[in-house]
Chain A
Amino acid sequence: MGEKAFFTKDLSVYYGEKQAIKKISMDFPSREVIALIGPSGCGKSTFLRSLNRMNDVIPGARVEGQIWIDGRDINDPATDVVLLRQKIGMVWQKPNPFHKSIYENIAFGPRYHGIRDKKKLDEIVESSLRKTALWDEVKDRLHRSALALSGGQQQRLCIARSVAVQPSILLMDEPASALDPVSTAKVEELIAELKREYCIVIVTHNMYQAARVSDKTAFFLMGDLVEYDTTQKIFTNPSHRSTDDYISGRFG
């Protein structure tokens, strides 16, 4: 494995009494795509959300264990959550652009983090849209509402919005499940492009998508990390029977 983007150590999340994920320790390499798979309720989304402290806002949620990024445990109370979420971007299942123009959707983050210079903002908007292969499609209507874009374009805009604040890690929760096959293919292609710069962690119910886009795959079951290995190994010769059964569509 190359350089590590971050790692978790004995990470557990409880919702009230219920332990949703159980002492998960995982290393996440830089510039690779890591897919989290498993049946509903296995803890993969909980795990993903804990990586930029989205579970903080869920009443009754409690996190134990550590998540180390850049030499710091992000669960440390002193962590600035806003800065954390700049570093670790999140893309949701349904595209959720702001009710603003395409330009403002992208410029919002950088401006929030203190960039006021118009020229600099223009540059960020263009480079973010180029990185997400949207530039050519929207460059003539940057100041029109983002809501007029198609679902697939909106999702790529949301990815561009995450990229605009220069994160090092992108979390994606089912980023293509609400998209048609063509838009899905575009998002998958984009993931392959973006991993040159970022560590991407993706939760997906679509196993074949996990197989297509990821370098490593982690299989979760009832809060446990059953198996974490290269995607090739997981999909051709997994070590655990339950992994084989799940990816073969024989339970779940």
Chain B
Amino acid sequence: MVTRRELDEGLKQLQDMLIHMGDIVEKALEEAMASLVNLDADEARRIVAEDPALNRIEEQISESGARLIATQQPVAKDLRKILAALKIASDLERMGDLAVDIAKAAIRLEGQTLIKPLIDLPRMADLVKTMISESIRSYVEENVDLAYKMAKDDDQVDTLFGVVFMDLAAIMVENPKSINQSMLLSFVARYIERIADHATNIGESVVYLVTGKRPDLN
């Protein structure tokens, strides 16, 4: 059995960087939500400041992928693994941006009190956090079943998004003074929902990696 050390090591590095990005995104979402629930603007500003680190890893993945394609001429599954990694990195980078958007919402709420205790938004975020870690695990394990599970989880997130949005709309009708904050919280719900869409995209990339076919899970 001939091995391809250089290529295999490159693929392993890509995978390690993706795992690292996944961890960062998961943590960013968790901390952004905490800063919102606690209305802790300082914490939120720290999260915003950390985003460039995630972008740098995405650039590294992009460069490593290009280098492997140029120097190792990967084909078939090796090629799909690199293409999937590039796509996943771009999804994770967008997820990081959305976590930052949540932190920015917390900053804009600085000095206010919340119009209602946040219950469903953290529930959505918890679901989505699990999706992030499971989507990355599906890549590492090349686990198609877990990748398809993203679609189901995404439906749940969408349902919760609908509930949150209707609640906030009702509050706006009752209390026009809350419109500003309600709008902001609706945006946050939307950001979380978008993160779930990106996790679902990761599931699609994993199905492509394993089967060569591109499903539509969203």
Contacts and interface: CB of A to CB of B under 8 A. Distances in A.
Contact of B78 (A207, A243, A248, A252): A248
A211 B69 CA distance: 14
Nearest to A243: B76
Interface in B64-87: 73-80
Contact of B4 (A236, A243, A249): A249
Nearest to B78: A248
Contacts of A244: 76-77
A99 interface: no
Nearest to B76: A244
Specify the main secondary structure of chain A where it touches its partner: helix
A235 interface: yes
Contacts of A167: none
Interface string A226-244: 0000000011111000011
Given A208-B73, A235-B75, A250 B80 contact: no
A112 interface: no
Interface string B185-218: 0000000000000000000000000011100000
Contact of B212 (A207, A237, A247, A249): A237
Specify the main secondary structure of chain B where it touches its partner: loop
A33 to B, nearest CB: 18
Given A207-B75, A236-B79, A238-B76, A250 B212 contact: no
B1 A248 contact: no
A80 B4 CA distance: 49
A238 to B, nearest CB: 5
Nearest to A211: B75
Interface string B92-108: 00000000000000000
A90 B9 CA distance: 42
A235 B75 CA distance: 6
B75 A247 contact: yes
A207 B4 CA distance: 15
Contacts of B3: 250
Nearest to A247: B75
B2 interface: yes
A112 B1 CA distance: 50
A237 B210 CA distance: 9
A251 B80 CA distance: 19
Contacts of B75: 207, 211, 235-236, 247-248
B86 to A, nearest CB: 15
B80 A248 contact: no
Interface of A: 207-208, 211, 234-238, 243-244, 247-252
Interface of B: 1-4, 7, 73-80, 211-213
8 contacts: A236-B76, A236-B80, A243-B76, A248-B4, A248-B74, A248-B76, A250-B3, A251-B2
